[in-house]
Amino acid sequence: MHLEILKPWNENKMNPILFAFTDNQTMVKKISSALNLELGSMTIHTFPDRETYIKINSEIKNKEVILLCSLNEPNTKILPLLLFSENAHDLGAKNIGLIAPYLAYMRQDTRFQPGEAISSKYFASLLSSYFDWLITIDPHLHRYKSLTDIYTIPTTSLHAMDLISKWLSENIDNPLLIGPDSESEQWLKIIADKIQAPYLILKKIRINDEKVEIQLTDVTSFKQRIPILIDDIISSGETMIETIKLLKQAQLAPPICIAIHAIFSNNSYQNILAAGVKKIITCNTVSHPSNQIDISELLVSAIQTQAHKLP
C-alpha cells in the first residue's frame, strides 16, 4: 500500500494526537506517519483484582485526541475505553474521537424475544456519551439503515468493498461470489459489479449462536468457477462451515472465504480450514493471521476529512 506523507492538515490548527489500544502497531504507525500525527503515550495496567489503571503520559490539554481501538472482545475493552475518555476530558482534551475499525454490539438490533436487551442501542448510547465522533468500517447494519439510527455523535462508516474487489481482481480468475445470507447482498452486489462476476445470495436461518441452516440454490452451471464466500463477520464460523459443506456436496471447487472482520471465536478459524476451504482471507480491522487486505488507507483519508470538520 502507498501512503503519501502529508503535511499537517491545517497550519493554523494543532494536529490531533493519536492514541491506540490495539495490537496492530503496524496500522498505528502507518496512520500516524501518513498524517504526520503525534503518537500519544499511555500506560495501562491491570491490578491483581482485575481493575484497570490508566495513565495518559502525553500532554493533551487543548488537543484533539483520537483513540484507535478495534472493538473485538468488547467487554474487556469498554471500561478501559471509558476511563481513557473521562481522563482525557479531565486533562483538558478539546475533543475525543474514536476509531473502531470493528464496531461491536451491532447484531442485537431488535428484541427477538420479550425481555431481551437491544444491546446495539444501549452500546451506541454509551459510546455516544463518551466520544465526540466515531469512525468505523462496515458496521453490521441489518435492521438499522445507518449508524445515525442509534448513535447521537457524528459517525463515518467506511467500506472495504473496493479493497476486497481489488484483491479479487489481482488474485482470482473466474470467481463465483456467494453471500451466505440476505444481509450479505449489500456487499456482494457492489463487489460483483466492480469485478464483473456472477453472485448468489443464499438463505440462512439462525437456530442459535452457534447453529445455522443454509439453503443452497442450483449451482450446476457454476462448476468451472472458484467459489468465493463473502461475509462481513466470521464469529463462530458456522455460517461459513455450513456453506462450505453444501458447496462440497454440490461438487464445487474448495472455496475461498473472505470476511471483513476476523472475530473467529473459539476454534472457528481451524474449524473452517478443516471444513475444506482453500484459503481464508480477512481485512485487518481485527488483527489476525488471516489478514491480507489492509484497510489503513481508508482510515487515513477518513481521519483527514474528520480533522477538517473540527472547529
Of 40 and 139, which has the nearer Cβ to ligand R5P? 139
CB of 180 to ligand R5P, least distance (A): 6
CB of 103 to ligand R5P, least distance (A): 13
CB of 152 to ligand R5P, least distance (A): 25
Of 15 and 119, which has the nearer Cβ to ligand R5P? 119
- Count of beta carbons in the 10 Å neighbourhood of residue 291: 18
Return the residue of 64, 109, 132, 232 that touches ligand R5P, per CB under 6 A: 232
For every residue of 89-137, DSSP letters joined together read: HHTT-SEEEEEESS--S-S--S-SSTT---HHHHHHHHHHHH-SEEEEE
Q: How many residues bind ligand R5P (CB under 6 A)?
A: 13
For every residue of 210-254, DSSP letters joined together read: TEEEEE----GGGTTSEEEEEEEEESSSHHHHHHHHHHHHTTPPP
Return the residue of 183, 187, 222, 247 that touches ligand R5P, per CB under 6 A: 183
Of 148 and 266, which has the nearer Cβ to ligand R5P? 266
Q: Is 115 left (phi over 0), alpha (psi -120 to 50) or beta?
A: left
Can residue 138 be called a binding residue for ligand R5P (CB under 6 A)? no
d(CA 228, CA 72): 24
For residue 54, what is the enclosing H or E element? Answer: strand 52-56
Q: Which three cell numbers stand for residue 189?
A: 452486489
d(CA 245, CA 270): 15
The helix-helix angle for 74-90 and 119-130 (nearest 10°) equals 20
Can residue 109 be called a binding residue for ligand R5P (CB under 6 A)? no
- The stretch near ligand R5P (CB under 6 A) out of 17-25, 225-233, 274-282, 301-309 is 225-233
d(CA 252, CA 227): 7
d(CA 220, CA 249): 11
Can residue 239 be called a binding residue for ligand R5P (CB under 6 A)? yes
Return the residue of 109, 132, 181, 294 that touches ligand R5P, per CB under 6 A: 181
d(CA 28, CA 34): 10
Can residue 235 be called a binding residue for ligand R5P (CB under 6 A)? yes
* 3-state SS string for 157-217: EECCHHHHHHHHHHHCCCEEEEECCHHHHHHHHHHHHHHCCCEEECEEEEEECCEEEEECC
Return the residue of 64, 132, 138, 238 that touches ligand R5P, per CB under 6 A: 238
Of 54 and 216, which has the nearer Cβ to ligand R5P? 216
Q: Is 176 left (phi over 0), alpha (psi -120 to 50) or beta?
A: beta
Can residue 231 be called a binding residue for ligand R5P (CB under 6 A)? yes
Can residue 139 be called a binding residue for ligand R5P (CB under 6 A)? no
CB of 241 to ligand R5P, least distance (A): 8
Of 88 and 192, which has the nearer Cβ to ligand R5P? 192
Can residue 177 be called a binding residue for ligand R5P (CB under 6 A)? no
Can residue 236 be called a binding residue for ligand R5P (CB under 6 A)? yes
Can residue 282 be called a binding residue for ligand R5P (CB under 6 A)? no
For residue 33, give the 3-state DSSP assignment: helix
- The stretch near ligand R5P (CB under 6 A) out of 63-71, 121-129, 188-196, 234-242 is 234-242
Can residue 237 be called a binding residue for ligand R5P (CB under 6 A)? yes
Can residue 179 be called a binding residue for ligand R5P (CB under 6 A)? no
Residues that bind ligand R5P (CB under 6 A): 180-181, 183, 212, 231-239
